[in-house]
Structure 1
Amino acid sequence: MLNLLRRRPASVPLIRAAFSAPLHTTENRPGYIVLVPEIGEEGPLGEGVLKPDGLPAFSDITIEMCLGAIGQQASAVENSVKALESDLHSGKQLNAASIFRELDTVTGPLETTWGVAKALYLGNSTLIPTKSYMNIHERARNARAAKFCNQTVYKALKDASSESGPDEQRMRQKFLLEGKLNGLTLDKDKQDGLKELLTHLGRERANFKNKVNMAVHSFGQVITDFNLVRDFPPSLLEATARDPGQHLTGPWKITLQPQVVDGFLKHCPERLQRWNVWRASVLKASSQQEKSLENSTHLEKIRGLRKRQANLLGYESFADMSMQTKMVGSVDNLKQIFAKLLKFAGPAQSVELDQLQSFAQDSGCEYKLEAYDVAYWRRKQLVAEHGLQEQKLREFFPLPRVLSGMFALSEKLFGIQIVEQPNAEVWHPAVKFYDVFDADSVNSSTPVGGFYVDCYSKEHKFGRNNGWMVGIRNSNKSAGLTPLCALIFNFSEPQSPDAKPPLLGYDDLQMLFKTFGSGLQHLLTQAGYSDLAGLSNIEWDASQVSGHVMSNFLDDPTVIRSLSGHFSSGEPLEAELSQKMRLLKTQLAGYNLCQDLYLADLDVELHRSNAFWLEVVRKLWPVYQCMPLDKKDAHPCSLTDIFAGDWAAAQFSHLYSRLIAADISSSFAEQRSGENYAVVGRRYKQTFLSSGGSVPTAEVFRRFQGRDPSAEALLKSLDIFAPSQTTDNI
């Protein structure tokens, strides 16, 4: 039995009581110390997690149930791999399709329980506490990895004939690549060396992350003057107020959470305050600050270990190894794309910063703009020259209206129907569940999948609204499972039925559409295996394409106006403002693209060069940046996504996904009517949304566009393409 102990004397509540309490609440609750039980390995597989209709039984799910189910299901996967290994050792002839079907069938329940736990954890970690979720996550991840790390299965697939179907060939390629990257081609001594190296690398990455976290929390700039925060959006006020219930009266504490720093630099009117926060941010976790928190040493160790890892696996550098899972294919191809984009972004950046400087001077600014001034003066320029006052624009985008408009647009574009199921079990009364029907499916009256929407998660409030697409269950034809996902957002919940709903800014609209776009790819997949369905097996640099394609519809003033309606009067946004809203994306687009290019190239060079990290920074900075590098700037020492996370030599993937998405979106932009929009939408659904990872993304793109991708569409979408600058094919 899972024990829950009150911090103060009281009767010990049953675990189910923790789940029957409201998930989203504003009052303070007494804390719990959670004593995590052992993960069970026996009993019926996943008993109680799913109802007979295949949907999660959220009303009855407990922590114990998830922990028990994940243990049983993980054991089932591992035992299935062992049985398969035994059959192969005994000489039994198995074709690739039978291997994949068996593994797919046994993996389905594990992934469902894992997805349910992830949705509950992101929705509110009081339901699945962090320690419990990490136990579930590690157990599930290790079991899932077992099928890719088995030497016998790897050899059988390597020796298998290539006469199977395209899905089986794609699965075989995935297993062989996973096996190679996990060291299955190495001899025993080298495998042991790789294991020891990865253990050491894991420790260094953890040290790097911990020091950044400590540096972030060791800084706190307290503000008591409301004039310094008067332009803060509500989400930033709530995140920085010492008492969230008094976010309009303060005081406010500015931390070094990246989203708080970005919001502060954009909205704080006092330059000295901006400089102080910016400088603390670029120096954090470096030797320029507290010596015990410096990350320079860990950064260099991580680089060295990754290079050794790549060399051991047969690659010249970690960057070269990274390209094995990327659509772009090679570092040389990537560098060519960087050069093509910089050819336009560089000159645009210079012009934009000159214009911003002129505007600031005309507005009474007497200093030369620095990096910590740009976001503030950009916002002021948008208001003064274009009337784009974000707080006023928010009033026209209440969340319920935007959601219904987004669903209606998707139905029209992709030939689907989204139907709410009010009787579905959910983890909080505010959560909703929707079935998705596809008019093009064999049985259009049966849902092809379903998704939950939780708009009011209490988790991860760091000064900006966020969204997550959680794949609860992949499409799994071997196990007869349809896809499920959860769209989880952390908008602020209205405190009463009569209170105004959350009002969305432009960044919120982008985030909402992007999250839903990823959900559509998860739900509308037609791939034959779970490991190829939805976003599975898609190259890293193409994994965000569907999200960006959806968010690119916000470039269309007609779409913007159809989503709008003032929260009190229902009046749509003025046509002129609808036209101008694209400026929120294109203003300083050259400058912003150069920032993205710099970070992407820095990441690649740090994973292929032997030079000290600071030398790499000093070499690349003037290539992409107009403003000088601060002498003490040590920003690589806090790049956790790259040095503690999974984006090493992969940071460019965010930009490359945008490039591919812009090219796809150009086909929609060329159409002038809703009917033609729908024709392109069906073609997009039949290629990108349906293929999942069953076909390489480069081939999927050719099926959609009839050619290879071009950078021109991205440059045009940012209004920085100048045909006179080049005659080269871009």
Structure 2
Amino acid sequence: MTSISANLRLVDFDNVAPDTLQNQVISAIDTVNAFLDNMSANNDSNNGSTDINAEQALADIMTFDHINLALDRSWGILSHLNSVMSNDEIRHVHHELLPKLSAYGTRVGQHQPLFSRYQTIVNDTAFFAALEPARARAIELALRSFELSGVALPKAEQEKFAAIQSELSTLSATFSDHILDATQAYALPLIQEQLAGLTESGLALLADAGEQYKARELASGVLTQVEIDALPAPYYVASLNIPVYLAVMTHADDRNLRETLYRAYVTRASEFDKHTNAKGGSLNNAEIMSQILQLRAQKAKLLGFDNYAEVSLSTKMADSVMEVETFLRDLAEQATPAAKQDLAQLQKYAQDYGITELQPWDSAYIAEKVKQSEFSLSQEEIRPYFPLPKVISGLFAIVERLYGIKVQEHSKSVSRWHDEVSFYQLFDADDNLLGGFYFDLFARSGKRGGAWMSGFQSRYMYSEQDHEQLPVCFMVGNFTPALDGKPSLLTHNEVLTLFHEFGHGLHHLLTQVTVGDVAGVNGVEWDAVELPSQFMENWAWDAEGIALISSHVETGEPLPKDKLAALLAVKNFQSGMQTLRQIEFALFDLLIHAHTPALDYDGILATLNAVRDDIAIMQTPDYNRFANGFSHIFAGGYAAGYYSYKWAELLSADAFSKFEEEGVFNPITGKAFRETILSVGGSFPAKTNFENFRGRSANIDALLRHSGFDNVKNVDAANTESNAQTTREVI
């Protein structure tokens, strides 16, 4: 059995405690601050002049980067645990440190002596030109980061900037807390009549939610053991955790139940949500959203931008708000004919189920009926063909064929934060260790919703201290857990999510860059960072790929040809409506951040309604408060950047079209993608990387074809070409 390399520098999760991590974070900040103090003192002694050459400046920068490793590690562990194992103690420590982290980050971004060292290197044109591309790129990006941190601002404005940054970090954390608390506070015990239509796996999920509900009620003293023992067994409870929510929304015949759960989900953390937090306060995010927008607008003004959208786009592939808005509206125009056909199809079938006016809580339910009727396909029928262990082994087989890499599990050899977590090492064709990754794939209490890849530890080398570390990442999901003695059985949507996050993981792990700031996903423009992830999803739609990831949980047979044909035929089912939905979110995000003055909560809702009037083809209830739970933009990194999903989807589709031309499993094409996209990380601009792979600029043709829009009737061909050309120039 291969031993665990010391260069992975794995965390001993069995022996991490919140207070220990807190002390480590504070100690790390103190160490770096002492280094900066010394740099400032030396600068002062030279009457404000660094009086050092470019080589010395680079040595100081590399020392600074190395000292920062301890902070990146301790804070990275705490942030991760707050996302996957949140409890009151972890949350308290995490939130208590946020102002300190914010103050530290602002100090670094505004530290003139450190900034001047970067300038010294760039100003020595011969020295700078001789640097390896990754180091040069990291210095260029750092200089831009200094500018966006207010390094050029007068002292008073720097202090105001620092206060804004600190408040924003706290508000975003609170926003996220409210969503998690509101999601977990909701529980709806069901009676037998409400269970009609639910699948076997759905009932198992509801029964499992019932057990969790009973445990919580007992622990909180709401119910006594006698009262719990009197409850029927199994005890079915609907919750807002995604696997449970989707099970009800997709299969429950009870329309009132679907509407009840839909209302609860879309009003989380709004004025309609009556739950309270641990301190008894409201979970309503309305005021927080307004405050976040106001603070971002103030930050933009301090930095000399007209609005926060311009700040966001200054670090992305896209050049302007107008460019992004044009891209989104052009794509909406392309998608609308298909979306109208999608809606008409749902409305037609809804009549058969006594639904005269289709509502949002009917969409998933009716869509499932259409799939069964039109394509002879049910997600529940194919779920047994995608047991998680088979999907994972097939995924590993696919990337081995594409990139010549091998994966080995070593879960028992390492410390993990939960028993459900697994750990793997990644090797190249010559058995050289490339990195390690963790899978944490199941929904549970204390874990925030969604799926993500956290690039916890970058590939990095510092020869001065003979220090080498290999990349390590966390890949997290909220899939249906193993139930009734069977492994986790995935829907195809969950399969796609796993492939998506693994694409991010490969981007992080396969990097050959050893300058941490531009290794893996670091330094990659935000609107290009989704390229490798969306690209990876294509193999979960390919017939040969599906053969590798499917095997019936009981019989072992692969997905039968008729079901495979149905699955492939359903690929673009509802793609028009889904595309408009993504554009709706992206345009809303862009417009609220481009608006001056900053919008209050009523203005936020008014903007969302205006976007829906422009883009959506289906009415949304007045009580829908989707924005109050839009964590991507209010608590994540996607502010004025949610469009990145569609932008990167264009890049992904065009990149995959090269595989379609040369062979989906062509190892030469796979090697080219690895070398031009995955291995180089952020060491070159994303546009350069894409063009090195594709041999040309990106165009929209493959995206339209993959989405099925090029086959939709009533789309004027000339208009399609005109809009496609516009987008080619945009990208």
Structure 1 and Structure 2 fold alike (TM over 0.5): yes
Describe the shift of the 1:527–1:355 C-alpha distance in structure 2 as closer, same or farther (beyond 3 A).
Answer: same
| Structure 1 pair 54–279 and aligned structure 2 pair: CA distance change class (3 A) | closer
The AA in structure 1 aligned to 2:34 is N
1:106 matched residue in structure 2? 67
Instruction: List per-residue Cα deviations over 1:190-232 (Å, max 9, x = no partner).
Output: 2223234445555665665566667656765432125246236
Asked if the contact 2:61–2:117 (Cα under 8 Å) also holds between the matched residues in 1, the reply is no
**Aligned equivalents of 1:673 and 1:206: distance in 2?**
42
Contact 1:470/1:487 (<8 A) preserved: yes
Residue 516 (structure 1) aligned with residue 502 (structure 2):
yes
Give aligned pairs, total: 670
The one of 400, 414, 423 aligned to 2:389: 400
| TM superposition shift of 1:636 | 3.0
| Aligned counterpart for 1:264 among listed residues 236, 242, 248 | 248
Q: Distance between the aligned counterparts of 1:147 and 1:719, measured in 2?
A: 48
Give the aligned partner of residue 566 of structure 2: 580
Report which stretch shifted further, 605-614 or 283-292: 283-292
Partner Cα distance (1:657, 1:268) in 2: 35
More displaced stretch, 243-252 vs 377-386: 243-252
Q: Partner of 2:368: helix, strand, or coil?
A: helix
Q: 1:565 aligns to what?
A: 551
3-state SS in 2 of match to 1:470? strand
- Structure with more of its chain in helix, by fraction: 2
1:687·1:704 contact (CA, 8 Å) conserved in 2? yes
> What's the counterpart of residue 484 of structure 1?
472
Alignment-derived partner of residue 626 in structure 1: 617
How many angstroms does 1:253 deviate by? Answer: 4.0
Larger deviation, residues 522-531 vs 122-131: 122-131
Bigger Cα displacement from structure 2, 139-148 vs 76-85: 139-148
How far off is 1:70 after superposition?
Answer: 3.9
Contact 2:424 2:438 in 1 (8 A): yes
Q: What are the residue-to-residue correspondences of 1:111-122 with 2, within 5 Å? A: 111-117=72-78
Runs of 5+ consecutive residues of structure 1 not aligned to the other structure: 1-49
Q: Distance in 1 between matches of 2:483 and 2:576?
A: 41
Q: Secondary structure at the match of 2:468?
A: coil
Q: Can you give the 5+ residue segments of structure 2 that lack an aligned partner in the other structure?
A: 216-230, 276-281
Q: For each residue in 1:649-678, what CA deviation from the matched residue of structure 2 results, as whole angstroms up to 9, or x when unmatched? A: 12222332323222222222223363xx21
For 1:134-283, what aligned pairs fall within 5 Å after superposition?
147-160=108-121, 161=123, 162-163=125-126, 164=128, 165=131, 166-199=133-166, 201=168, 220-225=187-192, 227-228=195-196, 230-231=198-199, 233=202, 236-237=205-206, 240-241=209-210, 243=212, 249=233, 251-255=235-239, 261-283=245-267
State the Cα deviation string for residues 104-140 of structure 1 (Å, max 9, x = none): 3222344344445555666655899444555677766
CA distance in 2, matches of 1:488, 1:126: 18
C-alpha distance in structure 1 between counterparts of 2:419 and 2:267, whole Å? 44
Identity %: 26
Q: Residue 334 of structure 2 is aligned with which of 319, 344, 363?
A: 344
Q: Are the counterparts in 1 of residues 499 and 536 from structure 2 also a CA contact under 8 Å?
A: yes
Per the alignment, residue 707 of structure 1 pairs with: 696
Match of 2:577 among 579, 585, 591: 591
- 8 Å contact from structure 2 (residues 339, 574) kept in 1: yes
* Deviations, residues 560-619 of structure 1 (Å, cap 9, x unaligned): 112111122211111232232235542110001001111111111112224733432343
Superposed counterparts of 1:299-338, under 5 Å: 299-338=289-328
CA distance in 2, matches of 1:118, 1:629: 35
Counterpart of 2:426 (choices 423, 431, 436) is: 436
SS in 2 for 1:272: helix
Indicate how the Cα distance of structure 1 residues 584 and 224 shifts in structure 2: closer, same or farther if over 3 A, else same.
Answer: farther
Deviates more, 1:287-296 or 1:563-572: 287-296
What is the aligned counterpart of 1:716 among 680, 689, 705?
705
Which residue does 2:456 correspond to in 1? Answer: 472
Q: Please list, as runs of the form range in 1=range in 2, the aligned pairs for 1:489-508 lying within 5 A after superposition.
A: 489=477, 499-508=485-494
Given the two structures, how large is their TM-score scaled by the length of structure 1?
0.82
| Pair 1:727 & 2:711 matched | no
Q: Which amino acid aligns with 2:67?
A: V
Greater Cα offset, 634-643 or 328-337: 634-643
What CA distance in whole angstroms lies between the structure 1 residues aligned with 2:443 and 2:631?
24
> Once the 2 structures are TM-superposed, how far is the Cα of residue 493 of structure 1 from its aligned partner?
6.2
**In the alignment, residue 687 of structure 1 is paired with which amino acid?**
T
In the TM superposition, 1:650-729 aligns within 5 A as 650-672=641-663, 674=665, 677-722=666-711, 724=717, 725-728=719-722, 729=725
2:278 counterpart residue number: none
Which one is further off, 144-153 or 542-551?
144-153
The one-character-per-residue Cα deviations of 1:532-586 (angstroms, maximum 9, x if unpaired) are: 1111111222222222111221121110112111122211111232232235542
Using the alignment, how far apart are the partners of 1:702 and 1:581 within structure 2?
33
Residue 334 of structure 1: CA displacement?
0.7
Q: Give how far 1:182 is off.
A: 1.7
Shift in Å at residue 146 of structure 1?
A: 5.0
Residue deviations 1:410-430 (CA, integer Å, cap 9, x gap)? 111012222344773332676
How far is the alpha carbon of 1:280 from its aligned partner?
Answer: 4.4
- Contact 1:243/1:250 (8 A) holds in 2: no
Offset at 1:348?
Answer: 0.8
Normalised TM-score (structure 2): 0.82
Rounded Cα–Cα distance in structure 2 between residues aligned with 1:672 and 1:433? 31
* Match for residue 76 of structure 1 among 17, 21, 31: 31
Q: In 2, Cα distance between the equivalents of 1:325 and 1:435?
A: 33
